[in-house]
Structure formats: C-alpha cells, structure tokens
C-alpha cells in the first residue's frame, strides 16, 4: 500500500502551463505589486541597495593576504590571490555579490525546501525532491567521499559567501528578498559546503538520460502496437551520422579500451525486451502509474532545461594542422534552458605566482554557488563538455504490501524515513519516504498511484498485483561520488594524462569531455558512472520482484571510449552515439541523440579543410551559428511537388521555392516550413498518441483506449485532451522524429499517413494528401499568428526568446514580468540545428532551450579566445550587467576573452581589493 502523499486524496497534482520552475504564490506577486505602490520603498535606493561594491577596499574575515578582483566592462571578474584558500574564499564572496539570490533558490531546490521561501504551492515539488534525497547524498559525499583538499576549498568558498552575507539585511542582498519580506518572515541562512555539492545533483537530474523515454514508451502501449512504438524509436543511423569515436576497441586481455585498435563487429549489446511489451509479458499495464509519475516530473523545476532530445550541447576541437594558427581550436556551446540570470557565470581564478602551493591559473564558466571552473582553460590545456546521455536511470515496478516489497518470492522491509516540510505561512507537512533495494519509491508522491496497476494486464511471469505496483527509481546520482574532486583536478591538469585522471572521477552527470593543449594535442574522454545490467536494456521499466534484472556493477573507467590525436584531425561531440554499439561490448544507452547536429558540424569541418583549407577562429564562430534545417532537405522537395489549388495556400507554398534551408530570423520560408513540419507531426503522429504524451490544450475526438470493435452507439468517440507540459510533450520535432519520418517519406502509403479527418479537414490516406493538409493547416495557423500577407511573415516573429527571472518573473501580473524579465528577442536557428534554439513542435514555436553560452578557445594564444554569455554577470535587475551580453549572443557575436595579466589590466574597468 502506498505511503502518505502530499496531494489531497482523489486529486491530481496541479498541472498548469509554464509550471516548470514556477516558484511563487500569487499572493507574493500581488504583494510585490502592492509594494511598488509604496513609492520610495521600491524606489531607486531599494533597487541599488544590493548592487555590489566593485572598487575600493573591503575587509574580509579569514583572508590571509590581499586579494584583487578586477572586472571588465561586462562585470566579469578576474581574481588574483597568493594562495588557494584565499582564491576560493574570494570566489565565494564575489559570486555572492552578483548572484546570491539565485544561489539561495538553487540550494532550496536541491534540499527540497522551496516551501520555506514560497509557501504552499511548492509542497509537492519539495516532497518529490525529498524523496529523491539529493541533499542527503550530497552530505554523504562531503562526509565520506570527497578528498580533504576539496573539502578545504568548499569550506573556504562558504566562508567567502558568508562574509558577504554578514551584517546584511536580506533586502540589501537582492531586491527579490524585499518582495519576499512582504509575505514571508524569511531569514537567510549561512552557506555551507554541502550547498555547493548538492548542485551537482540538480545538474545530474536534468541530464539524466532516457528516463522520460522509458516512461513514454510504456505509456504508448495504450494506443500503439509494439511494431509502431519501435518505428517511433528507430535505431541510431550509424551509416548517416558518424559516432564520436570511429576507431578503437576493448582489449580482451587487459579489459581496457584501446583507441588505436581496429574495431570488429561483435554480437551486439543486450537487447532486452521488445519495445512495447513490459516485463513479465505485461503490455500497457503501467500507464496509470507512469502517467502520474510523468505528471509529477513536470512539476519539478528543470534547472537546466526540459529533459529530452533538446537538452544537449555542441563541442568540437580541431588539430593545429587544420587551423590557420597552427594550434588547436576548441568550441563549446551547451544547450540548456534560457534563464535570467544565465546558468553560467564567467570568471578567472589566478594564483599571482603559480607554484606547488598555489596551482590555479584558470578562466572560464562556472556555476554560482560552486567553487572552481567547470568549462574553460588554464595556461596549458582547454576543455569543453557536452551531455553524453548515458542511461543511468532505471524505473522498477515493485510488488508492494503493508510490510514491504517482493523479491524472488520473499517480502523485504522498506527502508523508511520521516521528512518534515516547513511551509511559509502554513502548517508543516510530514511525509514518509520509502525505498526498496533499487531506490526511492517515487510513486508514493502521487495520490493517483494509490491503486497502481489496477487495470494492468500482467503476464504469468509477474506476481498477482493485489493493491497494485509501486515505482522505484535506481539512479547513479543517488550514490555518493567524487565529481567535485574532478572539477578541481580538471582546473589544474597540464596534459592529457592528468586530464584523463581527473575525468575518472567525473562520475555524474556523465559527460563527453573534449581536450586540447599547447603542445598541439587534442583528445576525447567519455567518463561517468554507467551501470551494467544483468538483464534488459533500460528502455522500459523492469520487474523489481525478479532479482535477475538488477544492476551488476558499473563499466570500469578504463573500458570507456576515448581517443587522442585521431588521424582525421578533429573531434565532434553533439550528443550523438559515442561508438558503434556493434563493436563495443557494453551498453551505454539505447537513446542517443540522433546525430543531425554532429553530422552537420562534421560536414562543415570537412568542407572547410578539403583541398588543404584551414579553419580560423571566426570559422568556428560561424559554425556555431549555422542554422540549416536538416529535415527541410528531406521534406521541402516533396512539399514543392504537391499540387495546391487553394490560391492562399499556393501563395505560402511559393515561399519554399528557392529556399536554401537556412532559418534566419527574417525568413518567411523558414516560418512557413516549420509550421508545416509541426502540422505534419500532429496529423501523422500526435493525434495517434495517448493523452499522457500530448500537450495540454491539445484536444481531439478519439475512441477510448479500452474500446474494442467498431465505433457505434455503445462505443462512441470521446473528447480527450492532452496532459503533458507543452515543453516536454510529443512529438517534439527533434531529430528522433527526423529518423522516424525519413523512411516514411519514401512510402506513398503508410498507416501513419492515414487520418480520420474532422468537420474541418478531409480524411487522408496517402503521404501527399497528408502533406497537402499540413500545408493548408500551416497557412491558416500563420495567418492567425502573423497576418494574411505572407510577405510580412518571418521566423523570428514566431520563434521568440523571453528571458524570465526564475522566480518573480515566471508568473503573475504583467507589471512584475515587465520589471524583472527581458525580451522578447526574435531568433533564427531551430530544433536540431547547430544553432540550437530549440522549440517543441507539440507545444508551439517559442524558444525553450538555447546555446546557453558560446566560446571559441584559441589554444596557446589565449588572449585571442572569445566568449559570450546568454545574459550577463549580474543577477540584479536593472544593473548594467543584467543582460548586457544578450544582444551580442542573439547576433552570434563573441567578446574578447582576456586571460594574461597584461590583457586583463588593459580591459579593467573596476578593481576591488579584499583585505584581511
């Protein structure tokens, strides 16, 4: 029987558009508006009170010597210290100056304590996060796993943050606290080292891999056959899109990966169950519990972006023999949710004299709330990250009862703990968190799961469901790890050997790491704690009652693919397959990104370097902003052949004639094509998916899922509306859908082209009939959105980015959003383009993930490197550095990235001296 829940019995968790990261009660918004009316209380003095001091001198507890903080015109700090503890102590102080409110909200997310800041609306989110236990795992990492050196740095960082908070009223820390004070007697707590460590758990959650695909495949069984589901999850197209590593194999004698070995085709990886059928022969039997779990996931703040194909990144490195400088060039642009302020914080950390006791001379991008640099370069090496996408989560169906859960015919007791959720303005809530041997029972967090599996068809291999199944989560990030150690080791690595040694501890989230150094070497390493399964392939929930489905261990680091100085002269990672699964003995995942972006980058490099051509730093920047639509190259020629009789639709069709497939902001052709693509997906696939996958507000007339026989008076069509948050609904239009559609475009007739029609649309039976209908629907959709005159259409008017303050700017009256939010910007680019300004075709055209920063590193000539952030250094609304980089970012421009002492001095605008 399920444990106590946080939602009233019989009611679902609230589901509202834009609920992701909505951290504010309406009363707080109204209080802010009322507060504005108090005149001087919300005047210039209140806003400016929290702006950081950036010149002069400040006394700082625990410093052992003076530290200089030099900022350029963009407010980007370069810190100079004599020892490592002072360096990280100053980093904590400076980041708190610029971003403490953001840091404070993040630590409340990771600890499941949002209700303490924002009240009743966040209780369900807190309950789910407490069930996962991020903070508990972070505490265990700090207490038992991390090195003494790392703990010393974390403590120094916390001391710096707390030195900034000392003797400051909340309203003098950030204007959002002044608003919070109107409804909540909130007190800022001191920062702790564990607050920093816990942020890595939030990173890992949003980059966790295929958990949503695992849920979605199971939910599809209520509407689709196993064959149909397999068509919607095609195999990775290795023949079209090359993996990251195209050579190498595991040496059977040593068990280590040899990047120079010739790969030979083996017997393939574990294939597991056939998609569309559940463990033990059940099919469609977990719809209710997984639908509810998906609903709960939608309410959890996605700090990095909607989980799925959109989350990713581009990075590539080119050898000096192919560049104009004769040294390697390295580019990186992580694709994450747009946030204000940006997730990234740019800075430099410099020992005045690099020595054995002060080893850091590094610059790049880090996260507010964490010491060190995550992506960047030191004086010898540069590195970048993209999400590897390894399958590091498994859902288990659990046969549960009042005394425990079933394993191999025996009942085992739950591991349980009580959690108290404190609620601002309300009563405390108590929950019980229960765990099985696999992990926490996430199904306990939804009242809809109190009778899990009641209607599930279950095969003979499964136990009698009784009161139902629970759902538990096994996830590598719920075990203590050493990723924090890895960050500091990366920052001070000087060669590829040290780089790989650092990568060994980068356990979660599993990332692709690319590398270049001043000696001309380039390299790649795939690190991460990646499970080895005894049975199954992780694509569907596993039967928890059968121990033969347990994890048997993790892939040894020495066995993970890597390469150094490949013959081709470059390495591209963009969330594609790491290595051909036919030649690699272990399963990394069955749900790669499908390689459209990576292959486009490969093609651009090949095109530029053929016949002896060389790549310049500006070529790297231009590649980052390449916005070509790969699906348009397949679909557009067919659209032009459709015989259109309606003059208005024909007028729109003409926009596609001569189009070069680029998606510029002012392109009318890109606007119309993307609208056609969206409608093709809706007609061919979206209307055939179950409600749990379709976007909220997407309502269609369908036959009930449980109905049999023909439609008649007893078996009528019913009105069914989608239930998924629009940002994560399907079909999302990403490159998985490119691979779904690619073979179908060669078939004039397919069951996917058949639609019943409705009172407005005629039924379709063939490819061309459906394409014609999609062109018609797109024409009238854009007429409503952009006007009747097609000459005024543009992709940017549809495809807009609005930067929203992550608490006060995500909901409420327009006056609040106007004060704190910025935009919109009309953008080019698109889904699965290199310039990945992502949008979800099931939900609309708005930009929901972006290249969150861009950098091009000129290895060895560091001061000629360039970078840009999505927003600015400051988290303070109305500060000059709040969004001062966004216009340049939107245009694909980069700023000079100064590194040497001389270049920093030449760019300095403000200097602050922190004194003991």
Structure tokens at 683: 């007609």
Task: Say how far apart CA 718 and CA 711 lie, in whole Å.
Answer: 11
Confidence of residue 218 (pLDDT cuts 50, 70, 90): confident
Where residue 447 falls (left for φ over 0; alpha for ψ -120 to 50; beta otherwise) is alpha
What is residue 176's predicted lDDT score, i.e. its pLDDT?
85
Residue 80: count other Cβ atoms within 10 Å of its Cβ.
Answer: 22
What is residue 687's predicted lDDT score, i.e. its pLDDT?
94
Confidence of residue 719 (pLDDT cuts 50, 70, 90): confident
Residue 801: count other Cβ atoms within 10 Å of its Cβ.
Answer: 22
Query: Which region among 47-51, 496-500, 657-661 has the lowest average model confidence (pLDDT)?
Result: 47-51
Confidence of residue 382 (pLDDT cuts 50, 70, 90): very high
pLDDT digits (tens, 9 = 90+) for 398-426: 998 888 999 999 999 999 999 999 999 89
Task: Say how far apart CA 822 and CA 437 lie, in whole Å.
Answer: 47
Would strands 77-81 and 469-475 be described as parallel, antiparallel, or unpaired? unpaired
What is residue 554's predicted lDDT score, i.e. its pLDDT?
97
What is residue 572's predicted lDDT score, i.e. its pLDDT?
98
pLDDT digits (tens, 9 = 90+) for 255-264: 999 999 987 7
Query: Which region among 207-211, 373-377, 448-452, 457-461 has the lowest average model confidence (pLDDT)?
Result: 448-452
| pLDDT for residue 18 is more than 50 | no
Backbone angles phi, psi at 21, to 5 degrees: 65, 25
What sign does the CA torsion over 438, 440, 446, 449 have? positive
CA angle 686, 691, 694 (to 5 degrees): 45
Nearest to 867 by CA among 895, 832, 909: 895
pLDDT, mean of residues 803-809 = 76
Structure tokens at 119: 């009240």
b or e along 499-524 (b: 16 or more beta carbons within 10 Å of the residue's beta carbon)? Answer: bbebbbbbbbbbbbbbbbbbeebbbb
Three-class DSSP labels, 812-869: CCHHHHHHHCEEEEECCCCCCCCCCCECCCCCCCCCCEEECEEEEEECCCHHHCEEEE
Higher pLDDT, 300 or 853: 853
Q: Cβ-count burial of 29 within 10 angstroms (0-12 exposed, 13-18 middle, 19+ buried)?
A: buried
| pLDDT for residue 505 is more than 80 | yes
pLDDT, mean of residues 220-241 = 94
pLDDT, mean of residues 326-337 = 95
What sign does the CA torsion over 841, 842, 844, 847 have? negative
| pLDDT for residue 808 is more than 70 | no
Task: Say how far apart CA 361 and CA 899 lie, in whole Å.
Answer: 9
pLDDT, mean of residues 22-33 = 42
Task: Say how far apart CA 517 and CA 494 lie, in whole Å.
Answer: 8
For the chain, helix (H) and strand (E) counts, in that order, are 25, 33
pLDDT digits (tens, 9 = 90+) for 636-666: 999 999 999 999 999 999 999 999 999 999 9
CA dihedral 297, 301, 303, 306 (to 10 degrees): 40
pLDDT digits (tens, 9 = 90+) for 432-486: 999 999 999 988 886 433 333 333 334 556 676 555 678 899 999 999 999 999 9
Residues 6+ apart with CB under 8 A from 900: 862, 863
Longest CA span, the chain: 85
What is residue 810's predicted lDDT score, i.e. its pLDDT?
63
Residue 780 belongs to what H/E stretch? helix 767-786
| pLDDT for residue 267 is more than 50 | no
pLDDT, mean of residues 492-504 = 98
Higher pLDDT, 756 or 21: 756
| pLDDT for residue 811 is more than 80 | no
- Work out the percent of the chain whose per-residue pLDDT is above 90: 72
CB 575 within 8 A of CB 849: no
Nearest to 384 by CA among 616, 606, 573, 626: 573
Residues in the chain: 916
Average pLDDT, the chain: 87
Look at residue 434 and give its three-state secondary structure: strand
| pLDDT for residue 372 is more than 60 | yes
What is residue 632's predicted lDDT score, i.e. its pLDDT?
98
Task: Say how far apart CA 381 and CA 9 lie, in whole Å.
Answer: 57
pLDDT digits (tens, 9 = 90+) for 556-566: 999 999 999 99
Task: Say how far apart CA 652 and CA 845 lie, in whole Å.
Answer: 18
Confidence of residue 296 (pLDDT cuts 50, 70, 90): low
Task: Say how far apart CA 596 and CA 627 lie, in whole Å.
Answer: 12
Q: State how far the alpha carbon of 359 is from the alpha carbons of 91, 172, 352, 506, 821, in Å.
A: 15, 35, 10, 20, 40
Residue 345 belongs to what H/E stretch? strand 344-351
Per-residue DSSP letter, 330? E
What is residue 57's predicted lDDT score, i.e. its pLDDT?
98
What is residue 272's predicted lDDT score, i.e. its pLDDT?
40
Look at residue 727 and give its three-state secondary structure: helix
Would strands 67-71 and 77-81 be described as parallel, antiparallel, or unpaired? antiparallel
Would strands 312-318 and 570-573 be described as parallel, antiparallel, or unpaired? antiparallel
Look at residue 695 and give its three-state secondary structure: strand
Residue 103 belongs to what H/E stretch? helix 84-110
């Amino acid at each position: 029987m399920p444990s106590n829940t946080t939602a009233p019995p019989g009611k679902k968790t609230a589901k509202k558009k834009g609920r992701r990261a909505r951290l504010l009660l309406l009363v707080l918004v109204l209080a802010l508006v009322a507060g504005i009316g108090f005149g001087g209380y919300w005047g210039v003095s209140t806003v400016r009170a929290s702006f950081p001091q950036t010149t002069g001198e400040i006394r700082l507890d625990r410093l052992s010597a003076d530290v200089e903080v030099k900022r350029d015109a963009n407010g980007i700090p370069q810190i100079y210290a004599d020892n490592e503890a002072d360096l990280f102590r100053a980093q904590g102080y400076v980041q708190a100056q610029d971003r403490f409110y953001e840091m404070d909200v993040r630590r409340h997310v990771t600890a499941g304590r949002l209700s303490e800041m924002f009240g009743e609306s966040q209780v369900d989110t807190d309950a789910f996060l407490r069930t996962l236990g991020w903070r508990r795992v972070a505490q265990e990492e700090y207490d038992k796993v991390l090195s003494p050196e790392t703990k010393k740095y974390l403590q120094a960082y916390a001391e710096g943050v707390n030195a900034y908070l000392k003797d400051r009223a909340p309203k003098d820390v950030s204007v959002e606290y002044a608003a919070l004070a109107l409804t909540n007697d909130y007190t800022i707590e001191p920062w702790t080292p564990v607050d920093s460590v816990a942020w890595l758990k939030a990173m890992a959650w949003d980059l966790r891999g295929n958990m949503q695909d695992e849920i979605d495949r199971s939910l599809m069984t209520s509407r689709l056959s196993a064959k149909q589901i397999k068509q919607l999850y095609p195999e990775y197209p290795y023949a079209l899109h090359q993996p990251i590593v195209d050579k190498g194999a595991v040496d059977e004698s040593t068990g280590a990966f040899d990047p120079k070995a010739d790969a030979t085709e083996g017997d393939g990886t574990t294939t597991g169950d056939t998609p569309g059928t559940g463990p033990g022969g059940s099919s469609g039997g977990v719809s209710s519990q997984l639908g509810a779990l998906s609903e709960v996931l939608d309410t959890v703040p996605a700090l990095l972006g909607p989980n799925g194909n959109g989350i990713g990144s581009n990075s590539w490195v080119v050898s000096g023999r192919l560049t104009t400088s004769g040294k390697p060039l390295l580019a990186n642009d992580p694709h994450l949710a747009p946030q204000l302020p940006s997730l990234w914080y740019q800075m430099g950390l410099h020992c005045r004299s690099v020595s054995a006791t002060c080893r850091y001379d590094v610059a790049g991008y880090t996260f507010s709330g964490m010491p060190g640099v995550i992506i960047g370069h030191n004086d010898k090496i540069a590195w970048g990250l993209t999400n590897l996408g390894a399958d590091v989560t498994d859902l288990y169906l659990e046969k549960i009862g009042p005394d425990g859960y079933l394993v191999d015919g025996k009942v085992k007791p739950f591991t349980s703990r009580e959690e108290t959720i404190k609620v601002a303005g309300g009563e405390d809530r108590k929950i019980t968190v229960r765990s099985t041997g696999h992990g926490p029972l996430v199904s306990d967090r939804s009242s809809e799961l109190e009778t899990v599996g009641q209607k599930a068809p279950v095969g003979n291999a499964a136990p009698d469901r009784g009161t139902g199944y629970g759902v538990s989560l096994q996830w590598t990030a719920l075990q203590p790890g050493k990723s924090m150690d890895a960050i500091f080791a990366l920052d001070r690595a000087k060669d590829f050997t040290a780089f790989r040694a650092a990568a060994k501890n980068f356990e979660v989230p599993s990332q692709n790491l690319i590398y270049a150094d001043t000696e001309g070497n380039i390299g790649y390493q795939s690190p991460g704690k990646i499970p080895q399964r005894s049975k199954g392939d992780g694509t569907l929930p596993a039967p928890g009652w059968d121990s033969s489905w347990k994890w048997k261990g993790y892939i040894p680091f020495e066995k993970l693919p890597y390469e150094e100085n490949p013959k081709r002269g470059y390495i591209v990672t963009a969330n594609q397959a790491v290595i051909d699964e036919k030649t690699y003995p272990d399963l990394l995942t069955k749900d790669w990104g499908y390689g459209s972006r990576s292959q486009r980058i490969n093609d651009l490099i090949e095109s530029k370097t053929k016949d002896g051509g060389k790549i310049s730093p500006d070529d790297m920047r231009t590649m980052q902003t390449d916005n070509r639509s790969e699906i348009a190259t397949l679909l557009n020629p067919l659209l032009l052949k459709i015989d259109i009789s309606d003059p208005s639709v024909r007028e729109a069709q003409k926009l596609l004639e001569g189009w070069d497939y680029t998606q510029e902001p002012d392109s009318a052709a890109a606007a119309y094509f993307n609208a056609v693509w969206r409608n093709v997906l809706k007609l061919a696939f979206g209307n055939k998916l179950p409600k749990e996958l379709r976007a909220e507000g997407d309502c269609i007339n369908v036959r009930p899922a449980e109905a049999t026989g023909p439609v008649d008076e007893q078996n009528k069509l019913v009105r069914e509306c989608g239930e998924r948050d629009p940002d994560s609904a399907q079909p999302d239009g990403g490159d998985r859908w490119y691979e779904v559609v690619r073979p179908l475009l060669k078939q004039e007739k397919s069951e996917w082209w058949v639609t019943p029609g409705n009172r407005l649309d005629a039924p379709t039976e063939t490819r061309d009939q459906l394409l014609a209908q999609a062109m018609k629907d797109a024409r009238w959709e854009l007429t409503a959105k952009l006007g009747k005159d097609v000459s005024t259409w543009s992709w940017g008017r549809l495809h807009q980015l609005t930067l929203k303050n992550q608490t006060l700017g995500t909901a409420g009256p327009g006056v609040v959003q106007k004060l704190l939010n910025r935009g919109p910007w009309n953008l080019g680019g698109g889904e699965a383009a290199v310039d990945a300004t992502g949008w979800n075709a099931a939900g609309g055209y708005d930009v929901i993930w972006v290249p969150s920063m861009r950098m091009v590193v000129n290895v060895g000539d560091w001061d000629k490197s360039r970078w840009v952030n999505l927003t600015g250094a400051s988290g303070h609304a109305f500060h000059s550095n709040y969004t001062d980089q966004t216009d340049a970012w939107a245009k694909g421009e980069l700023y000079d990235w100064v590194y040497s002492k001389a270049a920093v001095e030449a760019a300095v605008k403000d200097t602050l001296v922190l004194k003991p």
